[in-house]
Amino acid sequence: MTAPEAGGTPRATADQVRVAYAAGVRATMTALVVSAALATLKIGAGVLGNSFALIADGVESVLDLLTGLLVIGGLKVGTSEPTSAYPYGRGKAEPLAALVVATVLLLAAAGIAIGAVHEILSPHPPPRPFTLAVLVVVLVTKELTFRWLVRRGREIGSQAIEVDAWHHRSDALTSLAAFVGISVALLAGPKWAMADDWAALAACGVIAWNGVRLFRGGLSEVLDVAAPAEIHDRIRSVAGAVAGVVAVEELRVRRSGLVFLVDIHLEVDGDISVRRGHEIGHVVKDRLLGCEVPILDVLVHVEPQWPHAEPPQASERSASASRSGST
């Protein structure tokens, strides 16, 4: 089914994507500023306060900067207009960015784990007390950033922004582990100085778990996992409300970045003309492109609803088989 002619129902999807892209970039840039400030604070405090857990936590915040830039790049490429070379757009760039972010999380977990083990095997003095105050500020800031980004990501339907939000939650968890480790090292005496390093090691498990979980989410979208049930229900409702549509026989919906691609099979009265069936299909497509669901394109297949249980061809074949059997 081709796109509507000029003068038809306007396509709201382009405007939705532009608004979503602008909101996504603003959210990610704000998070980048926060990450830059916290990374500087944590690394500086870790070096001055003799805390490997805090240094590792600062390195994780530096990774937040890199992943934030990846998210912006994924949003920019993923929301570009379809072309002759990419007729379905480049929406897959957005979940691909999410996959890269998740991979960075896994690599960060491995790197911090190696550094923590090295520190455990190398005796050193305990951290300085002021590092705890730094971690309190970090924990509050990171948790607020996480919640805000998750909300914005869900509002615009961005998998990459939600993944980036969980990266900030992972950063908050590493800060919490560092807080516990430093507290033990300070309260229990020099013999427990390595508790700071054990805390960094424990945080790696949390980071790795989030990395695996988020990688699976991004991979599912790249492999065209089915859209949520509520999206299917809304599309069926809009299509079924069009005059002339007898039933929605089949529906397939997949996400492509911030938008959806729809394949829909409609049943119409089998006695109407081909022209009338084509018009009904166009109306369904226009309604879907103009609804609140951000749909990039709709492929409509129109089928006749036969008055009997079987279409004529099947009935004729059955009758023919009966006659040959009787002879």
Regarding whether 79 and 45 lie in a shared domain, the answer is yes
pLDDT at 321 over 50: no
Closest CA to 55 of 68, 65, 46, 63: 46
Same structural domain for residues 68 and 200? yes
- Alpha carbons within 13 angstroms on the beta-carbon side of residue 121 total 6
Compute the distance between CA of residue 297 and CA of residue 13 in angstroms, rounded to an integer: 9
Task: Give yes or no: residues 245 and 162 share one domain.
Answer: no
The pLDDT tens digits for 245-286 are: 999 989 999 887 777 889 999 999 988 999 999 999 999 999
Same domain? For 71 and 135 the reply is yes
**Closest-CA residue to 213 (of 74, 87, 99, 50):** 99
**Does residue 59 share a domain with residue 193?**
yes
Using a pLDDT cut of 90, give the percent of the chain over it: 15
Of 199, 222, 245, which residue is a domain's last?
222
- Is the domain of 140 the same as that of 190? yes
Q: Point out the domain boundary residue: 201, 222, 243.
A: 222
Q: Is 1 within the bounds of a domain?
A: no
Boundary-marking domain end, from 222, 245, 276 = 222
Contact at 8 Å (CB) between 43 and 324?
no
Domain carrying residue 81: 13-222
The domain tally of the chain equals 2
Query: What band does 318 get if pLDDT is binned at 50, 70 and 90?
Result: very low
Residues 79 and 185 in one domain: yes
Residue 42 lies in a domain: yes
pLDDT of 1 above 60: no
CB atoms within 10 A of CB 192: 15
Q: What is the mean pLDDT of the chain?
A: 77
d(CA 186, CA 303): 74
pLDDT of residue 300 exceeding 90: yes
Phi first, then psi, for residue 267 (nearest 5°) are -100, 130
Quick one: 215 and 269 in the same domain?
A: no
- Between 199 and 49, the more confident residue is 49
pLDDT in tens, 62-119: 776 776 777 677 767 766 777 777 777 777 777 787 788 788 878 888 887 887 787 7
Q: Supply φ then ψ for residue 258, to 5 degrees.
A: -90, 0
- What average pLDDT does the segment 208-228 reach? 79
- Indicate whether 31 and 56 sit together in one domain: yes
Question: Are 46 and 162 in the same domain?
Answer: yes
In a domain, 2, yes or no: no
Region 290-316: mean pLDDT is: 73
**Residue 234 in domain:** yes
Q: Rounded CA gap, 59 and 262, in Å? A: 42
- Check: CB of residue 162 under 8 Å from CB of residue 154: yes
User: Mean pLDDT across the stretch 150-154?
Assistant: 82
For residues 189 and 238, state if they share a domain: no
30 and 174 both lie in a single domain: yes
Alpha helices in the chain (DSSP H): 13-49, 52-78, 93-121, 130-156, 159-188, 195-222, 229-240, 274-290, 312-326
Q: Is the pTM of this model over 0.85?
A: no
Q: What is the pLDDT of residue 278?
A: 92
CATH number at residue 37: 1.20.1510.10
